[in-house]
A and B are shown apart, each in its own frame.
Chain A
Amino acid sequence: MSRFAIETVGLNHHFGPQAVVKNLSLQVPRGSIYGFLGPNGAGKTTTIKILLNLLQSPADTVFIFGQELNHNRIACLEKMGSLVEQPAIYAHLSGKENLINRCILLGINKSKADEMLALVGLTEAATKKTGKYSLGMKQRLGIALALIADPELLLLDEPTNGLDPNGIIEIRNLMVELTSKHGKTILVSSHLLAEIERTATHVGIINKGEMLFQGTINELQDLSKPSIKIEVDDQAAAANILSSNGAEIINEKEGNIHITYTGKADMGKLNTLLVQNGVTVYSISTDRKDLENLFLDITSKN
């Protein structure tokens, strides 16, 4: 049994002459919340559509729970629930009718529709036509539609799009609950790292169709080395003192000097050294590049 819920092997996809997915090797471990990150137009939605067999892919490049997608389309789709781009719902039907229609298609009990409406907080709007729903309500219904068959694997393409802060928190909590309590695997795409860094266990960063980073969230954090930020009155003198005492200066500007972090003790020593040499230290602190900047750094490189 494959340990990956999703695995792609050297996946390529072209729209005409334009390559939108290049040699992509996605590995989504079972039970993980995999944050699939990339700027707009990076190839996230295209990849998700390939995983759903909506876009053609060559044989032996996409595996869902170890099964080759093209030869086991129905078996693979039975395990997946999805929300791709804007939720696809019938505007002339109510929220409940949309869910009942899905129950019909999936051959499941229609009572599941009410359960799902309650789960995403749409019980009161159940009979309202979805054409009159707000974007946030549509997104909730889209999530309900993805969850209704209780799939093992969820593919959510920017699920918090259009949701208010409360809605975003609810979706986050729901994702954590689904993986921790029910053993589901979730692939969630976003163009904002901040949005999923709190929930994701694994991250894949894609830009221009290429995977730039793939690993656990901790591995991503390890890429970001901390530095010491020292604010002084005399920048030139301080830089001189620090470098002559072996500190590695990363950059210096506007009275701030960044040096490589080597430990708390060293930080104290450097502070004493500066003060003893007549430099006034206004502040001294560790500075870690946040994941958002790291993400921008990674995606701007290719």
Chain B
Amino acid sequence: MRSFFISLQSEFYKSRKTLAFWAAIIVPVVICGLIAFGYYTSSEKILKYNYPGMMLWFQYSSAALGVMGMLILPFYVMFMAFSVNNIEHKNDTWKTLFSQPLNKFSIYSAKYFYALMLLFICTILFPLLTYVSGYLLQTLVPKYTFKDYDPAIILTRFYGKLFLASLGILSIQFVLSLIWSDFLKPMGIGFIGVIAGIITANVGWKHAYLIPYSAPTLALRAASGTKNARPEDLPIFTQEIGVSLACAAVLFVAGYFILSKRNIK
């Protein structure tokens, strides 16, 4: 366990100045900032719709959720999984890392957990910033109805589900980036995966849930498709989440197996 924590601490230390780390913070700040800015400058136009509190929150958070689930999250996951491994490929440091008196599984799992942590930071910042900026907008534009509804539960559920839905993609991309040092292979496969995921999810293919790349789109789809149910009742552990988690677990183990049997060149 000590090996795991010091490996994790080292992961943080060495990547704290990299884009992969800062992107986890910058992406949510920029996107939520832009949306909030839009809602502030176009407040008169939005106020004309007379949205009740819940609907206004729904519209407001959907702006980030839609773009996030469809594109930004999968691409961020791909980029981040690549960067976490590329830091070793680029500097030829796998050999140093594995010649330290540390358990190989600890080194590997700390790297994986670090990627997981970055994804978590990114997905937690979105609801947090949406929540905070909503109330900030309420203060700046008192006519808004944000104060009439507490979005904490739906935001947590939506983004929580999105986080779980992206674990499958994270594991696939993590293993691909572990195997290949070049940018094109994992990114190319990931890109095709994301496109295939979006298409199969949007055309409503009945087996789309089996493709981990379609999980974020499907997760949000299920959310927007439940018109009669209350958004607070959004089911979290749906089929695609099950596939995403299973895929994450299998590939996490497979990644370690690949790494432990591999000769470090």
Where the two chains meet, the residues of A that have a C-beta atom closer than 8 Å to any C-beta of B are 49, 52-56, 74-75, 77-78, 80, 82, 84-86, 88-93, 97, 100-101, 104-107, 145
Contacts of B10 in A (CB 8 A): 101, 104-105
Residues of B within 8 A of A53 (CB): 98-99
Interface set of B (CB-CB < 8 Å, partner A):
2, 6-7, 9-10, 13-14, 17-18, 87, 90-93, 95-96, 98-103, 261, 263-264
Contact B99 A77 (CB under 8 A): yes
Of A77, A88, A93, A106, which one neighbours B92 at CB under 8 angstroms?
Answer: A88
User: B93 contacts which chain A residues (CB < 8 A)?
Assistant: 88-90
Distance A74 CA – B102 CA, assembled complex (angstroms): 6
Within 8 Å CB of B98, what residues of A? 52-54
**Residues of B with C-beta under 8 A to A77:** 99-101
Indicate if the CB atoms of B17 and A84 lie closer than 8 Å: no
Question: By the criterion CB–CB under 8 Å, are A54 and B95 in contact?
Answer: yes
* Contact call A91/B95, Cβ cutoff below 8 A: no
Verify B100–A105 contact, CB threshold 8 A.
yes
Q: Which residues of A contact B95 (CB under 8 A)?
A: 49, 52, 54, 84-85, 88
Of chain A, the residue at the smallest CB distance from B3 is: A74
Interface hub of B7, B99, B261 (most chain A Cβ within 10 A): B99
Q: Point out the residues of chain A lying under 8 angstroms from B9, CB to CB.
A: 104
The smallest beta-carbon distance between A223 and chain B, in angstroms, is 34
Q: Are A101 and B102 in touch, CB under 8 angstroms?
A: no
**Which chain A residue lies CB-closest to B104?**
A73
CB distance from B93 to the nearest CB of A (A): 4
Identify the interface centre among A56, A82, A85, A93: most chain B CB within 10 Å of its CB.
Answer: A93
Residues of B within 8 A of A84 (CB): 95-96, 99
Known contacts A56-B263, A100-B13, A104-B6, then 20 further A-B pairs from the complex at CB < 8 Å, ordered by chain A residue? A49-B263, A49-B264, A52-B95, A53-B99, A54-B98, A54-B99, A74-B101, A74-B103, A77-B99, A84-B99, A85-B92, A88-B92, A90-B14, A90-B91, A93-B14, A93-B17, A104-B13, A105-B6, A105-B10, A107-B2
CB distance from A282 to the nearest CB of B (A): 56
Q: What separation, in Å, do the CA atoms of A264 and B6 have in the docked complex?
A: 66
Q: Which residues of A have CB within 8 Å of B92?
A: 85-86, 88
